[in-house]
Amino acid sequence: MFPSRIARAALAACLLSALPTVHAQTFPAKPITLVVPHSAGGTSDILARTVAAEAAKTLGQTIVIDNKGGANGTIAAKQVASAAPDGYMLLLATASTHGINPSLYSRISYDAAKDFTPVTLLATVPNVLVIGPNVKAADVQALISHIKAQGDRSNMGSAGAGTPGHLAGEMFKRAAGLQFTHVPYKGGSPAITDLIGGQIDFLFTTIPGALPHIKAGTLRALAVTSPQRSPALPDIPTMAESGLPGFQALSWHGVVAPAGTPDAVVQKLNAALSGALAAPAVRQRLMEEGAQASNVNTAAFGAFIQSEIVAWAQAVKDSGATAN
């Protein structure tokens, strides 16, 4: 009896060890959920839906978008971190969920590095530095001179404390040795409205939100925060070109899975998402949103997340912003 018990245990162990392989071979056998940490209609949502629809063609299963905004993305991130590591629930990770939040929150409900397996960096989205009609500055250096002349009477708006736009402003303050007042808003739209109305002087914001106003001439774009110029604003220089070498403050979007997701499943997801990003229609749609498709995946994406946590930590510290 004893040997037969050992044999049964050995057989069970073999079957259990084979389960991940069998799962990977049949994956996906049902629809996949991609949790987006923002409401419908914004850049994150549009990007997620565009890429998911194309990737679904390769996977042979629908990718369902689940919009779960709130708490700077922590609610969505916690949901996915706690999900089964089987590839059927994924997170649209962002600069907030996996770059800013680890420093912004003194108590956070997930570990941005340990609780997730990186799949693919989908796209980077630079912010653009814009000024309203009250500020007469032709370029970044002229704006720096204006702010220094005004002292702390100059004010910068943002979509909210701890957002990428706010922290890009803190990087600007540190890099140029400036003093100005931060005015946080509840979203980018009201901040842009007040910038046009002259209630604030300048703003770092996403390109899609500002582009119609730049084209209409009600806002002036001075620089973008990416290392290279944006295809959406090819005539606008980078912050580095404008006399602040090394300046970079990117919003970004990628896909992560719960930690422990089998490698073979991650590879299937990566291949489908990378293929979607190569599709001309997808690249065009991303460009319309001011986003640039990425070719960074898996291990390199994990290293990118680690570098983002470090980079944003200094900006959070400088800003004094905290949550909970």
Position 288 scores a pLDDT of 84
Q: Find out whether the peptide bond into 208 is cis, omega within 30 degrees of 0.
A: no
Q: Which CATH number fits domain 30-125+251-319: 3.40.1390.20, 3.20.20.70, 3.40.190.150, 3.20.20.370?
A: 3.40.190.150
Position 1 scores a pLDDT of 44
Position 36 scores a pLDDT of 95
Q: Is 213:131 a contact under the CB 8 Å cutoff?
A: no
Position 18 scores a pLDDT of 46
Per-residue model confidence as pLDDT tens digits over 83-92: 999 999 999 9
3-state secondary structure the chain: CHHHHHHHHHHHHHHHHHHHHHHHHHCCCCCEEEEECCCCCCHHHHHHHHHHHHHHHHHCCCEEEEECCCHHHHHHHHHHHCCCCCCCEEEEEEHHHHHHHHHHECCCCCCCCCCEEEEEEEEEEEEEEEECCCCCCCCHHHHHHHHHHHHHHCEEEECCCCCHHHHHHHHHHHHHCCCCEEEECCCHHHHHHHHHHCCCCEEEEEHHHHHHHHHHCCCEEEEECCCCCCCCCCCCCECCCCCCCCCCCEEEEEEEEECCCCHHHHHHHHHHHHHHHHCHHHHHHHHHCCCEECCCEHHHHHHHHHHHHHHHHHHHHHHCCCEC
Residue 50, phi then psi, degrees to nearest 5:
-65, -50
Per-residue model confidence as pLDDT tens digits over 90-141: 999 999 999 999 999 989 999 999 999 999 999 998 999 999 999 999 999 9
- Numbered ranges of CATH 3.40.190.10 in the chain: 126-224
Name the region of 322 (left: φ>0; alpha: ψ -120 to 50; beta: rest): beta
CA distance 231 to 287: 7
CA distance 98 to 256: 10
Residues of the chain whose pLDDT is less than 50? 1-2, 15, 17-18, 22
Position 192 scores a pLDDT of 94
Position 24 scores a pLDDT of 67
CA distance 292 to 284: 9
What CATH number belongs to 126-224?
3.40.190.10
- Numbered ranges of CATH 3.40.190.150 in the chain: 30-125+251-319
CA distance 276 to 88: 18
